[in-house]
Amino acid sequence: MKLLHTADWHIGRTLNGYSLLDEQKYAFTQILKIAQDEQVDGIVVAGDIYDRAIPGTDAITTLNEMFKELNIDHRFPIYAVSGNHDGAKRLNYGRDWMEFNNFHINTLLEEAFHPIETDDTQLFLLPFFDPMDARVYYQKQGMDEEDVKAIKNIGEAMNLVIADMVKLFDNDKKHVLITHFAVSKSADDKIDLTSETTSKVGGLETLTAKQFDQFDYVMLGHIHTKAASPSDNIRYSGSPVKFNVKEAKIKANKGVYIVDTNKKPDKADFREILPQTDLIVLKETWETLLDPEFYSQQPVRKDWFAITIKDFDRTKHVHTNVRAQLQDIYGTVVELDYDNIEREVTENNLENINQLSNEETVDKFFQSITGNQLSTEQKTIVDDIFLELERGE
């Protein structure tokens, strides 16, 4: 079976207020062409199809047109799961009649235990879920109440889920898993979540490759770069578009994987996707940025720029509209930052809040107000609140 593996479309995403819909449409046209050129048997979208649980009308219209073009106009089967950014119940609407046209989308845990069967492959579509979802599911299955309560983290929940999937294996077929989680090579390895939150709420903590070793191939979503793939047969396709400065700094190209279940994975399986408008990251002094010899070497007025001005003395530029002056030269500046002595001192003395999980942020705020840490009961309440927010229901 030959499949195109893509993920993390995040339709509706913006970059500091700039819409990325045109970029996403441009990437989609390349995905479609690759699928046609490769004559694939289906297209996998491994989660985070939308950027948020309640997408805007433009995002809905855009995605509907994309899926229509793939599935109806060109008759490609689609195998998709919901990610942590998707509204699972909303995305589940229409699922039953979509299957009549070979459009398979799983957004609820219980749906993952009904593999899609082809002549030579079993496809298991496992959507993003959290420990609470697993507890509810296994309680409905009649699991002992104490065993249900023992499911405290996503690792324990995943072990149960995979064990039940393995019971469904047809030994005469290949077994492919499509899912949306952070998976590392081992428990000792840490992976950069790129444009994803570092929060552990809702099961975002890292799973390990060993947990999936009974599958012939695992197609992952959630991490936005293929460089995070833990092994040759457990891979991230990465997102088709650069979503922030952090991703723009990563050298790994954007693209999709072509997966043939009858062949061993190979580096040549990757197909690059080129941006319509690239995101260029610059970190230079003010003098350098205004030097024609420097900016003449840049794709000015063609690509987007994220600029950090080094050693910038604000007192010398009180009457200067810095952004306007840079935009006159470079065109669209989607992000402007300053790297100066004052900021360096601040950053050396304060934790970067972007590196804290949601619950850690709440805990530190609580400490700053009360002088005490959150109790176990309070932490549980905070965790449950963020789980509900993640679901967006």
378 vs 242, which has greater pLDDT?
242
Tokens of residue 27, six digits: 């990437």
Residue 140 pLDDT level (bands cut at 50, 70, 90): very high
Question: Which residue type sits at 54?
Answer: I
| Backbone angles phi and psi of 247, in degrees to 5 | -70, -35
CA distances from 233 to 79, 94, 185, 236, 265 (A): 18, 32, 12, 10, 6
- pLDDT given for residue 158 in this prediction: 95
Task: Categorize the per-residue pLDDT at 193 as very low, low, confident or very high, splitting at 50, 70 and 90.
Answer: low
- pTM of the predicted model, to two decimals? 0.81
Strands, E, within the chain: which ranges?
2-6, 14-15, 18-19, 42-46, 78-81, 103-106, 116-117, 121-126, 174-180, 183-184, 207-208, 217-221, 234-236, 255-260, 270-272, 279-285, 304-310, 333-339
- pLDDT above 80 for 143: yes
**Mean pLDDT score of the chain:** 87
For residue 347, pLDDT over 60 is answered with no
Please give the Cα distance from 366 to 30 (Å, whole number).
48
Provide the pLDDT for residue 352.
52
Place of tokens 């689609």: 78
**CA–CA separation, 307 vs 358, rounded Å?**
28
SS3 340: coil
Q: Are 323 and 17 in contact (CB under 8 A)?
A: no
What DSSP element (H or E) covers 242? Answer: none
Q: What percent of the chain has pLDDT over 70?
A: 87
The verdict on domain 2-272 having CATH code 3.40.640.10 is: no
Residue 351: what pLDDT?
Answer: 45
Domain ranges of the chain: 2-272, 279-349, 353-391
Listed in order, strand segments (DSSP E) in 7-149 are 14-15, 18-19, 42-46, 78-81, 103-106, 116-117, 121-126
- Which pLDDT tens digit goes with each residue over 105-127? 999 999 999 999 999 999 999 99
In tens, the pLDDT along 265-290 reads 888 899 999 999 999 999 999 999 99
